[in-house]
Every structure is written in structure tokens, then in C-alpha cells.
Structure 1
Amino acid sequence: QVLWRYKGKKPDALGNNTRLYDWIPQNDLLGHPKTKAFITHGGTNGIYEAIYHGVPMVGVPMFADQPDNIAHMKAKGAAVEVNLNTMTSADLLRALRTVINDPS
């Protein structure tokens, strides 16, 4: 099951396992026992919430402090990074499988 905070037109190729929400209470979601991974841009609040709840991250940093935040999480074994400008769906899937299946 995938929960995605997304505003806009529903993508045509959206899978049956994905639900779109205008807003999601992120801290509550990260604290849910079934949460397996967090795809994040690497902002400070989201990083701290994921650390607190022990949820591994797939980081897609965009600007400002985000690349450094994700670099720190990678160094600690709490995240895998994908490059926003070059990633493919296979890259994202590989990163998700890594954080869900490979203990660190």
C-alpha cells in the first residue's frame, strides 16, 4: 500500500495500491507500525520524525540543506539517495527495496 501526498490531476498510470491525499499527518503516518519506508526530500522536520520512529528513508534532495541532510542519513545507514534529475522508476524501486529489505 502506498500513501502519496499529491495535489493535482490523478496520474493515468496510478496503481491500484496507491492512494492520493491532499494532506497527510506525516508524524502520525511515520509512527504507524505498518510504515516501512519514507520517500522524502530531506527536510529537517521529516528527517527528525523518521529518525524518531525508526523509519528508513529514500532521499530525493532538491536544494538548501536537503543534500547535506540526506548525506548524513546515508552515512548513518538510515537512508538511500536517488538523484532527482537522473532517477528512473527502476532506481526508485531499487532504493525502496533496499531500505525495506536490507537491515542497517
Structure 2
Amino acid sequence: MSTDDKRVREFAYQIWESEGKPEGEEARHWEMARKLAEAEALAPKKSPKASGSKTPAAKPVAAKESKVANGKAGEPKAKAKPAAAAAKVTPPGEKAAAKKPGTAKKPPAA
């Protein structure tokens, strides 16, 4: 089995899994996988230096810079929580849920 055949098999399996493992769709999955593998093979190859890394190089952190809210040096900062909007992803083909109307804020009592 050639490298190309392995790549087509990997793509077909990923497609099958992403669609919920349906039965009777093998021919369509294999055709989609074959096209993806061909497109991948035809895509220009970039060297790691030319393409640039999406993750910046790690910089050494001094003890002063790594203080946390409790003031202890040497401990990593707490990671930020992902935005609520990012957690609500609507799959393709489904309608987004309607937003609930917000409640009006009451003015402060005088």
C-alpha cells in the first residue's frame, strides 16, 4: 500500500467518523477522500522557516513576571477561560438557537 493509499484511507475514515459513522456512504466517502488526497499532494510544500510558525517561540520568564494574584513568585499565571460565544458552536446545517431577551437593568433607587 502506497503512502497515497494510506492517506486516502485516513481521510475516508475521518469523513466517516465526522458524519456519525453512517452505513451505505462508503463510495461517497472514498471519493471525497481521494479528492482531498489529490489536492493535498498538489498543494505547494512550504519549508518550516518560510511558512512561519503559528505558535510563538517560548521566552524564558523571570520570577517577577510570573507572579499570580496571590503574590507567589515562580507559579504560572492562571489561564483565561474561553469566551462563552466560542463554546456555542452551531454545526453546519443546523439553525442557531434564538437568543433570549435580556432583562432590563433597574435604575438605582434615589
TM range (shorter): under 0.3
The alignment's TM-score, normalised by the length of structure 1, stands at: 0.21
Tell me: higher relative CO, structure 1 or 2? Use CA pairs within 8 A at least 6 residues apart. 1
